[in-house]
Amino acid sequence: MSSFWNGKKVLVTGHTGFKGSWLSLWLQQAGAHVTGYALEPPTEPSLFEVAGVGEGMTSIEADIRDLDRLRSAVATHHPEVVVHLAAQSIVRAGYEDPVETYTTNVSGTLNLLEAIRLEPSARAVVVVTSDKCYDNLEIERGYVEEDALGGRDPYSSSKGCAELVTRAYRDSFLATADPPVAVASARAGNVVGGGDWGRDRLVPDVMRSCLEKQPLYIRNPEATRPWQHVLDPVGGYLALAERLWKDGAPFAEAWNFGPADKKPLPVRTLVEHILEHWDAPIQVELDPGPHPHEHHLLRLDTAKARMKLGWAARLSLPETLEWIADWYRAYRDRDDMKAVTEGQIARYRSLG
């Protein structure tokens, strides 16, 4: 990576979450001055605490739905680049509490863009949504950025709504501001990696069973997802933010960031491959449910990011699963997890 990030003032919302923690450590490693805005870590344990993410940044514990507090944070820290990750990110949680899901994902995005409009300092903004923002017809081809938005469940629908809010604020206010603010949205698939303890997520469920030596219960074993290591989309977000800063409007649109593997694996096979990298067997059983509706097939077409950003996923799925097992094995063995996590970031950056 270039020296672009050295000295840049960056606001990361959702920095206490899984993806936000990896992103914040990468930015710290690149020399950025990072301010985070989020609720307390969503899990116990959490990557944020285990890897000492908050030690190298300014961390603000607050709700993305609190516009006054968010506006004050933007006015105080004058971010030049903003990466918006704060979200309710679990499909099943969307069924359990749809109001929180919509208010966090839609009103939270609205509040961030409004704060940026009212407190001008940012020049580049990346709003991270999800691959599930698309109207998923379970077709074989990958979805492209121009495909219809939609969502049959509250989580997916909320991400489609966040995309619409982002486009409206960009076109109505931020693209025409003086100076203009370049705003893009980023859509990634099922992100996996070390340090994820989220509930109702496959890899955390597998690793919890491994660490606790308990049976693993899986649902929808034949469902496929665009699995990718967290550092692949994080690298994409940063590459996109850099182009927004340098080139502005031509990059202020929607972008897909998907895995390198063209054929996604079903859940059953993914679990088998993860366990090949672990040093103790566990029992795997089918969870009979009942389960709320989840789509079985979803793919992204990332040709646009490859051609226009020069971005491509660097880790194959076998490499991803090996890196995940290495991370959790180090955690089990009580290694220095800040050093382990930073080591994986440095190793990933060296692949480019």
What are the extents of the domains in the chain? Answer: 3-192+227-260+297-316
Q: pTM to 2 decimals?
A: 0.93
Q: Homologous superfamily of 3-192+227-260+297-316 in CATH?
A: NAD(P)-binding Rossmann-like Domain (3.40.50.720)
State the Cα–Cα distance between residues 53 and 213, nearest whole angstrom: 28
Decide which of 140 and 186 is more confident. 186
For the segment 287-311, the average pLDDT, to the nearest whole number, is 79
pLDDT at 199: 81
pLDDT at 19: 96
State the Cα–Cα distance between residues 309 and 224, nearest whole angstrom: 27
pLDDT at 290: 61
For the segment 114-122, the average pLDDT, to the nearest whole number, is 96
Over 80: is that where the pLDDT of 261 sits?
Answer: no
Lowest mean pLDDT among 12-26, 60-74, 153-167, 211-225: 211-225
Q: Which helix (H) or strand (E) is 256 found in, with range?
A: strand 254-257
With a CB cutoff of 8 Å and minimum separation 6, the contacts of 238 are 1, 5, 23, 26, 27, 30
With a CB cutoff of 8 Å and minimum separation 6, the contacts of 48 are 15, 16, 17, 20, 21, 41, 54
Kindly indicate the confidence band of residue 18, based on its pLDDT and cuts at 50, 70 and 90: very high
State the Cα–Cα distance between residues 43 and 346, nearest whole angstrom: 25
